[in-house]
A and B are shown apart, each in its own frame.
Chain A
């Protein structure tokens, strides 16, 4: 880890624009050197939170600390976090090299040092041969690299990135993601990354913070929040999921169970539930069989449609009451299952389901 990386602590941060609440009571610890992603739908307050972290906007309430020092009132130019803006915000009248040199000039770095460091970082982000071009002469991916180089060249303690890849095509986005992950490893700076793309968040981050309507819903490692979301919103936002309404909740030694269409389904223990709830299972955790399962969970269902996805197949089912279920299976396995006819059992093991409160 770079010795200059710092951790940030947001305590009860709120931001209002007139009567509109853009952020509400955000409390979040960002560890030094981690790769934290702010994930949420458009308009959920991600950019606003990033602007508050950078110091471009003042929080209406709450405090912000940098390694324990209160920086709530310090100015953006004094915080000097690196920032990659949505749309890059390069200086259109400066060349690539001049863009990257700017933060060093501001800091009064000696001329020879500037030249050396600019050359070095141009090589590191793969822009050799483009140093004298203007931003308008570069492709989207190259402009992105300039923005990254300009934000990293002065080795900021924190790098803030606002949807840096949203304008790139899918192939390029994948390459830039790898690049950002590599740069994070090399520089060791704390990265706070904003995206509304859940697969990007899952693949890049050491932790993800989920935003919705200006609130922080859940923070955790990608696997934790994917497999143990605390609310329906988080569960649905992170990827396709099957939701089965269950009633007659009961707790037993193994876990918590509920009734769905007269079948008792069991999931790991969830203490705070009573009456009815929702049982959630990811499509890739389900399987299909002609018989009821000997152990684990299963519900009878009828095939309603199939979608070929290349390596996998998505099977759409409807239960007796019409609840839709989606199962993804490797294409080969799907073919074998379909030979049994349309009426089958959709099954999953006990630990792959989780219960969520009905309202959330």
Chain B
């Protein structure tokens, strides 16, 4: 009886969200998917271009390379930061909270320009180095992949901190004491006890960061300066500058499918993580 009596109120309460998602995401996406097989003429021609056009392929390849590095660096940094946040002294915790969550409230655009102010030819770093007489001409610190990676890592670290923190908080202090009592060194306790116990959090953080990084637009557009184009920027260029709507739509669809597959993987690991902790 319960499902019947609870069904309509539950539907009424969730309906606004469902409708919003349908109109704001599903419908437009279907429209984009339709473009990808109709523009400029009906057929799967755009998807064939997707896998054969060297420019598109090189952008995809670059996107994966950048996102892979960004994920690796962001999760590694986040692991260290989270470790101090969860297990450090009061002072350390406060400091980390300020450093991690205050930038979280600042717009992506502002932060990207912040990096420009730091790294551009007339930026703080170059002018100091020149003032100190260490270099004659400014170093090319922006409009390249490393600066894109730095900017993206900066944005993504907080997203990795939260899943890592919940995994680290779940570690029973007595398990670590037990390892110490058996004579294990700090390094050994970390690698053979603490790290494996927080692995579900690492996997969750990795997938979240990777998925988010795939769709990055603002940061690579500003710090890459048109040289290190990533997929999202390529879609933008095809749609609004070429105009080559069919290909732009096909790239979008490919990206959404990829992200959906990764999210499916994430959900599986989340469930496995829950089972692994025995709860």
Q: How many A-B residue pairs have CB under 8 A?
A: 72
B197 touches A93 (CB 8 A): yes
CA distance A86 to B172 in the complex (A): 12
User: A82 to chain B: which residues have CB within 8 Å?
Assistant: 181-182
Q: How far is the CB of B160 from chain A (nearest CB, A)?
A: 21
Interface of B is mostly: helix
- Report if A135-B183 is in contact (Cβ < 8 Å); known contacts: A56-B177, A91-B193: no
The reply to whether the CB of A338 lies closer than 8 angstroms to some CB of chain B is no
Q: Which of B174, B179, B185 has the most CB of A within 10 A?
A: B174
B174 touches A107 (CB 8 A): no
User: B188 to chain A: which residues have CB within 8 Å?
Assistant: 106
Q: How far is the CB of A260 from chain B (nearest CB, A)?
A: 50
- CB-nearest residue of chain B relative to A56? B177
- Report if A80-B197 is in contact (Cβ < 8 Å); known contacts: A89-B172, A135-B278: no
The reply to whether the CB of A39 lies closer than 8 angstroms to some CB of chain B is no
Q: How far is the CB of B186 from chain A (nearest CB, A)?
A: 9
Chain B 171-192, CB-CB to A under 8 Å as 1, else 0, gives: 0101101111111110010001
B183 in complex: contacting residue of A85, A87, A107, CB < 8 Å? A107
The reply to whether the CB of A90 lies closer than 8 angstroms to some CB of chain B is yes
Q: How far is the CB of B181 from chain A (nearest CB, A)?
A: 5
The reply to whether the CB of B277 lies closer than 8 angstroms to some CB of chain A is yes
A103 in complex: contacting residue of B183, B193, B199, B277, CB < 8 Å? B183
B177 touches A102 (CB 8 A): no
B side interface size, CB within 8 A? 21
B184 touches A77 (CB 8 A): yes
The reply to whether the CB of A76 lies closer than 8 angstroms to some CB of chain B is yes
A83 touches B178 (CB 8 A): yes
B180 touches A93 (CB 8 A): no
- CB-nearest residue of chain B relative to A135? B278
CA distance A83 to B184 in the complex (A): 13
- Report if A76-B180 is in contact (Cβ < 8 Å); known contacts: A89-B174, A90-B175, A106-B188: yes
Chain A 88-107, CB-CB to B under 8 Å as 1, else 0, gives: 01111110000000110011
B182 touches A102 (CB 8 A): yes
CA distance A86 to B175 in the complex (A): 11
A81 touches B181 (CB 8 A): yes
User: A90 to chain B: which residues have CB within 8 Å?
Assistant: 175, 178
> Is the interface on chain A under 10, 10 to 19, 20 to 34, or 35 or more residues?
20 to 34
CA distance A103 to B278 in the complex (A): 24
CA distance A147 to B184 in the complex (A): 16
Q: How far is the CB of A166 from chain B (nearest CB, A)?
A: 14
A77 touches B197 (CB 8 A): no
A92 touches B197 (CB 8 A): yes
**For chain A residues 247-282, which have a beta carbon within 8 Å of chain B?**
none
Q: How far is the CB of A64 from chain B (nearest CB, A)?
A: 15
The reply to whether the CB of A192 lies closer than 8 angstroms to some CB of chain B is no
Q: How far is the CB of B104 from chain A (nearest CB, A)?
A: 31
A91 touches B184 (CB 8 A): no
User: A103 to chain B: which residues have CB within 8 Å?
Assistant: 182-183
The reply to whether the CB of A35 lies closer than 8 angstroms to some CB of chain B is no
Given contacts A102-B182, A102-B192, 16 further A-B contacts (CB under 8 A): A78-B183, A80-B181, A85-B178, A89-B172, A89-B177, A89-B178, A90-B175, A90-B178, A91-B179, A91-B193, A92-B197, A93-B196, A102-B184, A106-B184, A150-B178, A150-B182
User: 4 smallest A-B Cβ distances: which pairs?
Assistant: A136-B278, A103-B182, A89-B174, A89-B178
List the interface of chain B (C-beta within 8 A of A): 172, 174-175, 177-185, 188, 192-193, 196-197, 199, 276-278
